[in-house]
Chains A and B, each alone.
Chain A
Amino acid sequence: MSETTRRNVIIAGATGAAAVVGVAGSATVAQAATRKRGARSAQEPVVAHVEDHTSDTVTLMVGEREVVVHDRDLVVRLLDAVGGN
């Protein structure tokens, strides 16, 4: 499991080919809510950005930095969540 997939994710919105995802402390994605958080897990709000829905790239923005994660499985799960699946 990648570092990113351990994060708790809430879908906040999406437009066109790009999905913008807000992350908060209380998870609503059931799958994520059951995961155990790692020791280095973020303790603050996070925004996830999928710029290209055909790619494997999710950009996570937290504080004054960003983490670029390459995880096609995560991208697909975010897109599915946006689509209401």
Chain B
Amino acid sequence: MSSHREAPEIAKDPVADGTDTYAFVSPENPDSVVLIANFIPLQKPDAGPNFHEFGDDVLYEIHVSNRGTSEADITYQFRFTTEIRNPNTFLYNVGPISSLGDTNWNRPQFYSVTRVQNGRSRILAEKVPCPPVNVGVRSTPDYPALANAAIRDLPRGGRVFAGQRADAFHVDLGSIFDLGALRPFNEAHLISMPAMDGRNAVQGYNVHSIALEVPIDQLTADGSKPTDVLDPASTVGVWATASRQKSRIFDRKTGTFQGMGPWKQVSRLGNPLFNEVIVPMARKDKWNSRKPEGDKAFQKLVYRPELAGLLPVLYPGVFPNLAAYDKDRADLHAILLTGIPEGVVPGFANFTGPVPADMLRLNVAIPPSAEENSLGLVAGDAAGFPNGRRISDDVVTIELRAVAGLTLPLVDPEFTPDGAAAAIEDGTTNTNAPLLDGFPFLGHPGGGYQFQPGTYDAS
């Protein structure tokens, strides 16, 4: 998946598990950028009575690098506090929740937003309410109204939202992790089967999202709103992290854990699928704890990705040109670790300097597309991945095709991609909840009462 349960250690800690990061110029307000960090993967909407929520003991952060060093120049921090209004009930709510202040809601959650820049912290907002989770038609009968009430303005412009959302990612997990199978190409697989449509494994599941709308001039190094696409100052790097305190002691008096010590990063996410399919299992936990500026230690994995070697093995005879390629994958290194320099794609660049770092790289001088192409830059839509990442970008297909060699001619014109490189996909489409036209853009979460459990077939 993009980064749902992508490493052994964080898979045991879903509250801190970052699943997707998005960064795009707002189609609703092109003077602003939208930054979204999703956490807590694969939430069944009917997960009561203790529904999913942000961790009061987790520090959530969205980082922006704007000086070409791959270091965090601006960080937005989010800290959550949960209250229990009625300690004498086991219920999440004791009646319909009609507003964020409704006393029927027994477990409200609040958060603060802090902006850190040049070593100085400034609290932008405190005690901002999250909406409740979508319990069901009786408990949260007008969920959109609750969610909309949780969108708050920030000082000096911009908005913030934090709460449950429908996951917008789509991927066929059941197939991909069954020996790299892609159902539409089943017949060509080493263990051949009849071809079939892909299945969106994320469909119907929720996540918890932190969404920020920030005026562009608050993210650039010189405080400008760039207009020159080829100006290096027009591109910012973005990634999200979650951190826990260094030690944790069980408090027998309360039956809860208490964190002590400095915050230590346990999850990070820039480009989708980086830790998932680039980093080997034995190094995934370490990668999650490191800063992007140290990713030189992982760049060999990008130059020689394991998946590029697996494709010709799993699909015999389908990728002969890819199998014969024995040079470093400079295309993937540019896409994932440095950004694409000027001169590779006509009229486009999102290079952030030579320091290899896994970040989304968003060129803020490129306006939103009037008509989005979910295949992004490789399909001629420069406002999409890997120029930042929009919610509707089909990053699984884009990255599969890139790894299969489709983007290699950009840096090595002598290479001819195999025919399958332009066709490879997992066969899923965006069958998740409809996206919203405006901030926070991610769709409303599925409700617990409305949720229909899926089927099960063991053989």
Contacts and interface: CB of A to CB of B under 8 A. Distances in A.
Given A47-B260, A66-B246, A66-B262, 16 more contacts: A12-B249, A20-B247, A22-B249, A45-B249, A49-B247, A59-B261, A61-B262, A62-B260, A62-B261, A63-B260, A64-B245, A64-B261, A64-B262, A65-B261, A65-B262, A66-B261
Chain A CB within 10 Å — which of B245, B249, B260 has the most?
Answer: B260
A45 B252 CA distance: 14
A47 B247 contact: yes
A46 interface: yes
B263 interface: yes
Contacts of A65: 261-262
Interface of chain A: mostly helix, strand, loop or mixed: strand
Nearest to A64: B262
Nearest to B245: A64
B148 interface: no
12 contacts: A22-B249, A45-B249, A47-B247, A49-B247, A61-B246, A62-B260, A62-B261, A63-B260, A64-B261, A64-B262, A64-B263, A66-B262
Give the bracket for the number of chain A residues in contact with chain B. Answer: 10 to 19
Contacts, number: 31
Nearest to B249: A22
Interface of A: 12, 20, 22, 45-47, 49, 59, 61-66
B258 interface: yes
B258 A61 contact: no
A79 to B, nearest CB: 18
A79 B224 CA distance: 58
A74 B245 CA distance: 24
Given A12-B249, A66-B246, A45 B261 contact: no
A41 to B, nearest CB: 16
Contacts of A62: 260-261
Contacts of A64: 245, 261-263
Contacts of A59: 261
A45 B263 contact: no
A47 B258 CA distance: 11
Nearest to B59: A64
Interface string B268-307: 0000000000000000000000000000000000000000
A23 to B, nearest CB: 10
A20 B262 CA distance: 16
A61 B247 contact: yes
A45 B262 contact: no
B297 to A, nearest CB: 22
Contacts of A45: 249, 258, 260
A61 to B, nearest CB: 3
Interface in B218-251: 245-247, 249
A46 B246 CA distance: 12
Contacts of A22: 249
Nearest to A62: B260
Contacts of B258: 45
Nearest to B251: A45
Interface string B115-151: 0000000000000000000000000000000000000
